[in-house]
Amino acid sequence: MKIVTISRTDAVAQALWYTGPGRAEIRSEALAPPEAGEVRVRALFGALSRGTESLVHGGRVPESEYERMRAPFMGGAFPFPVKYGYATVGQVEAGPPDLIDRVVFVLHPHQSLFNVPAAAAVPVPDAVPPARAVLAANMETALNAVWDAAPGPADRIAIVGGGVVGALVAYLCGALPGADVTLIDVNRARAGLAKSLGVGFAAPGAAPADCDLVVHASGTSAGLATALGLAGEEATVLELSWYGAGDVAVPLGGPFHSRRLRLTSSQVGRVAASRRPRWTHGRRLGAAISLLADARLEALLAPPIAFVDLPPRLPDILGPGSGILCQVITYP
């Protein structure tokens, strides 16, 4: 296959590195010309994954998960220093002719310019604005969770935790005919988000009980207790939170056994078992990007900040009280 190369052979990229607990910096790195089968991508937009990256930023990735938590094209090694992230939208500058100038999504750390195998650059459909496409990795997680949970039409469904992934799960479940979907969060400001996505909202104390399915995505032990309390007889509670190195109390006393509740997990690293024989990771990511064509999903995006301003802003963005959903990053 013919490769179109750029004239520079000494390109320099800027990348965000987590260097210690609560510390980050932007480092320069030289790029070789893309090789056969590779593309060079210039970043346009990125996004911070607040849940996972707050654990990375704080040095709270458990040693047992160092290998499993490696992101595609990650630099360094846990705990520090590490170049991490998995939501970059950019434009192809060099590579196979059919990809030149295409806007693509790549599961790549926060970096202004990079080379990746052409297969890792997933074209963004024209119907999806490039800035909104940064939600692709989150939508992929939500899609996999819905496959794992297997909700049905007319089900009563509760999603505990109104972060990005929880909101996207609610959005997908809300498309089921007749489904009664409620997003539950301690932050009452999330009511506006739920309305934008076409689902109901409730604070934990006012949430509907006897649910057919409960998805927990709050990342807190209190949220998990709420989720278990909302599940109906023999219902499933899908645990979508990841707690890093933290210990979480799980209230398995009381009616947990007598009501025959089912507590199960979902994780995006493997395609859901119900789809695994037919779906590849690439097919799943492409489907997730296509699902971002709905303009209502703009409600998840925070006003963008410049890539060069990231290091000092990270503690506020990733802090538990920030209220930010998806922090968009812009590149020069």
Q: How many domains does the chain have?
A: 2
* 97 lies in the same domain as 213: no
* 199 lies in the same domain as 249: yes
The helix or strand, by DSSP H or E, that contains position 202, with its residue range, turns out to be strand 200-202
Locus of tokens 């000092």: 312
C-beta separation of 238 from 217 below 8 A: no
- Is 146 within the bounds of a domain? no
Domain carrying residue 231: 151-265
* 51 lies in the same domain as 107: yes
* Final residue in a domain of this structure, among 242, 265, 288: 265
* 91 lies in the same domain as 164: no
* 251 lies in the same domain as 299: no
60/243 Cα distance (integer angstroms): 9
Count the helix, strand and coil residues of the chain and give each as a percent rounded to the nearest 5: 30, 30, 40
Query: Token digits for 130?
Result: 């490039």
Query: Token digits for 61?
Result: 């990735």
Query: Token digits for 283?
Result: 């097919």
* 56 lies in the same domain as 112: yes
Query: How many of the other CB atoms lie within 10 Å of CB of 30?
Result: 9
C-beta separation of 231 from 160 below 8 A: no
- Is 161 within the bounds of a domain? yes
- Is 144 within the bounds of a domain? no
* 196 lies in the same domain as 161: yes
Going by C-alpha positions, the residue among 16, 15, 13, 18 that lies closest to residue 82 is 18
* Final residue in a domain of this structure, among 243, 265, 287: 265
What CATH number corresponds to the domain at position 232? 3.40.50.720
C-beta separation of 103 from 91 below 8 A: yes
Q: What is the 3-state secondary structure (H, E, C) of 125-142?
A: CCCCCCCHHHHHHHHHHH
Widest CA span in the chain: 69
- Is 301 within the bounds of a domain? yes
**pTM of the shown model:** 0.93
C-beta separation of 217 from 169 below 8 A: yes
pLDDT tens digit at each of 332 positions of the chain: 344 444 455 699 999 999 999 999 999 999 999 999 999 999 999 999 888 999 999 999 999 999 999 999 999 999 999 999 999 999 999 999 999 999 999 999 999 999 999 999 999 999 999 999 999 999 999 999 999 999 999 999 999 999 999 999 999 999 999 999 999 999 999 999 999 999 999 999 999 999 999 999 999 999 999 999 999 999 999 999 988 777 888 889 989 999 999 999 999 999 999 999 999 999 999 999 999 999 999 999 999 999 999 999 999 999 988 889 999 999 99
Query: How many of the other CB atoms lie within 10 Å of CB of 36?
Result: 10
- Is 274 within the bounds of a domain? no
